A = this chain, B = another copy of it.
């Protein structure tokens, strides 16, 4: 009997703490309760929390707010917001249009968030704080996953690069003849640049957005490997004698990469743009009419 009463009052007390000081952890609550003469261990606190669906700070704050966040302090509101972002992200996996499905690791979540920020603001204007906020972490926590901002950048770049190069190769292989292979590769390239996941978009125009030569140099190898794909496609073309294939490649890649600067949705599709560019360079636009 006494036991039962005690048990109930301990549970009530745990719930009171969850309501009054939602940010206290299990050991902090157990400690405080024990200091006040009650017998409970941290795992006991956790057991009661789980029973009521209150096992994380976010859940406790959510229960407390009940849709009305005004009752929370600024601090608590931020905490809640962050937790919700993190939960949403790891559920959804991808946060952009392309691909998706499988849940991503936190490392990948960070890469994707960073890609979006890098692509829209550039490397220098994107802070670790921005990236952290986007994945529901605090700045310092990001460093558990990546040793430096530069490594995040390189990670994003290599991920996007890996994706886009695989797709370009695949598309090219499906072509019937050299011109068709080039056309397909270009479609994928432009499409990745303007419609792809953020990691892919970065890959293309990042080359212009990085001002840091040291970072740039670390990427050069990847860029050269990518250029090699196009070099081979262009070397295979049956073109007029005397044409400078190197300048042809640079012209085509430049025109395509610049699309990222002027592209606005709706007017032309990536396919239209790429097809048009390849065709103009193939047949010329001159007409004596």
A residues in contact (CB < 8 Å) with B: 120-122, 124-125, 179, 205, 207-209, 211-212, 237-241, 243-244, 247-248, 250-259, 261-262, 268, 273, 276-277, 280-289
A238:B289 contact, CB within 8 angstroms = yes
Of A251, A252, A285, most buried by chain B (CB within 10 Å of CB) is A285
Cβ of A284: which chain B residues have Cβ within 8 Å of it? Answer: 280-286
Partner of A254, one of B207, B237, B257: B257
Do residues A243 and B280 form an inter-chain contact, with CB atoms below 8 A? yes
Q: 5 tightest A-B contacts by CB?
A: A254-B258, A122-B211, A284-B284, A240-B287, A208-B208
Residue on B nearest A237 in the bound complex, by CB? B285
* Residues A253 and B258 in contact in the complex (CB < 8 Å), given A205-B208, A209-B209, A211-B121: yes
Q: How many angstroms from the CA of A289 to the CA of B288 in the assembled complex?
A: 24
A-B contact pairs, 22 of them (CB 8 A): A121-B212, A124-B124, A125-B212, A179-B286, A208-B261, A238-B286, A239-B285, A241-B287, A243-B280, A243-B285, A243-B287, A244-B276, A250-B258, A251-B276, A254-B258, A254-B259, A255-B255, A280-B284, A281-B281, A282-B285, A284-B284, A284-B285
Does the CB pair B262–A250 fall under 8 Å? yes
Which B residues are in CB contact (< 8 Å) with A179?
A: 286
Find out whether the CB atom of A208 lies under 8 angstroms from the CB atom of B209.
Answer: yes
Residue of B211, B257, B286, B289 touching A283 (CB-CB under 8 A): B286
A84 to chain B, nearest CB (A): 28
Q: Contact: B280 with A124, CB < 8 Å?
A: no
Residues of B within 8 A of A120 (CB): 211
Expressed in whole angstroms, the Cα–Cα distance for A259 and B251 within the complex equals 8
